């Protein structure tokens, strides 16, 4: 373990990826007294954190060289691979004893590759994808699904407790990602059913607000229904979670299932609909924009 040189003896944390989710998550760490080094490809997205005291770095390798713990939450598996495994990246430049935590939703196989590349260099590594959306990130109530050694999980736990509430160690490297893909499979079916049900009600002339008030606490109730129906009713299709990222997650889940020798019919149906939504120009919208396929004004 590296010696800490942050305020109050806390380890210095590097945070790579300060978008919709990462900015709030990193902000909670600053508020808890951690010194942060930050990097994002779009530098402007780091500015609110820099104003709070974070130090802006020039790239992933520079973040790793000056940090004891590195957290990443980027867009796609190719971004994870580049950040960690490229020459001059995080694994190349991290100090021996550093802990690397990838909170991106990515592939289980890539999580294992990162772990296997980190260990010979004396680095810890966890895959720790999250669920809970932009609201969970803002309110520090994210669920965090962790793969890696028990030792690395316990070392990361104080940081996880600042960013989330439901934190579970699922098993060795890659198991956090497998758990997150299971989560996304469940959400895919839920979102499809929710949007179709709301669309049916609207076409039938039912007041959707009254219907929502009735159904939210019944058997049809879900996190998605509770959090997305008000946004749909208000015409708010801004991203709490991007359509393009959900398509990525469903593709990962589909491929992982196929690799295990079975197919998921409900997932494939939802994926087809979201690909259509993406192709219709809604890649940068929130996942609740699926409703638009059924109920364009």
pLDDT 10s digits, 22-52: 999 999 999 999 999 999 999 999 999 999 9
Q: Does 24 share its domain with 168? A: yes
Nearest of 113, 292, 277 to residue 202 by alpha carbon: 292
pLDDT at 3: 42
Nearest of 181, 187, 155 to residue 287 by alpha carbon: 187
Q: Does 131 share its domain with 229? A: no
Residue 284 domain boundaries = 178-293
Sites in the chain below the pLDDT cut of 50: 1-3, 297
Residue 2 lies in a domain: no
Q: Does 14 share its domain with 138? A: yes
pLDDT at 133: 87
Q: How many domains does the chain have?
A: 2
pLDDT by residue (tens digit) across 66-93?
Answer: 999 999 999 999 999 999 999 999 999 9
Q: What is the pTM of this model?
A: 0.91
Catalytically active residues are 180
Other Cβ atoms closer than 10 A to 296: 7
């Amino acid at each position: 373990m590296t010696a800490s040189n942050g305020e109050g003896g806390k380890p210095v944390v590097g945070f790579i990826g300060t978008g919709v989710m990462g900015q709030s998550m990193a902000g909670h760490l600053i508020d808890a007294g951690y010194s942060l080094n930050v990097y994002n490809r779009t530098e402007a997205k780091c500015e609110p954190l820099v104003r709070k005291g974070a130090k802006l770095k020039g790239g992933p390798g520079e973040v790793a060289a000056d940090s004891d713990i590195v957290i990443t939450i980027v867009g796609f598996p190719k971004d994870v691979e580049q950040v960690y495994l490229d020459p001059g990246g995080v694994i190349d430049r991290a100090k021996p004893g550093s802990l690397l935590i990838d909170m991106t939703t990515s592939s289980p196989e890539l999580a294992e590759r990162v772990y296997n590349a980190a260990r010979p260099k004396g680095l810890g590594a966890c895959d720790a994808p999250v669920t809970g959306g932009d609201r969970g990130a803002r309110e520090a109530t994210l669920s965090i699904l962790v793969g890696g050694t028990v030792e690395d999980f316990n070392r990361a736990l104080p940081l996880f407790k600042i960013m989330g509430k439901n934190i579970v160690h699922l098993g060795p490297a890659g198991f956090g990602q497998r758990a997150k893909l299971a989560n996304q499979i469940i959400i895919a079916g839920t979102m499809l059913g929710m949007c179709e049900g709301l669309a049916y009600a609207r076409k039938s002339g039912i007041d959707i607000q009254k219907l929502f008030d009735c159904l939210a606490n019944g058997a049809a109730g879900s996190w998605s229904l509770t959090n997305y129906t008000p946004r749909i009713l208000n015409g708010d299709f801004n991203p709490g979670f991007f359509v393009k990222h959900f398509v990525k997650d469903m593709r990962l889940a589909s491929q992982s299932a196929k690799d295990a020798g079975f197919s998921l019919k409900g997932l494939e149906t939802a994926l087809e609909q979201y690909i259509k939504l993406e192709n219709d120009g809604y890649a940068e919208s929130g996942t609740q924009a699926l409703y638009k396929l059924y109920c364009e004004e």
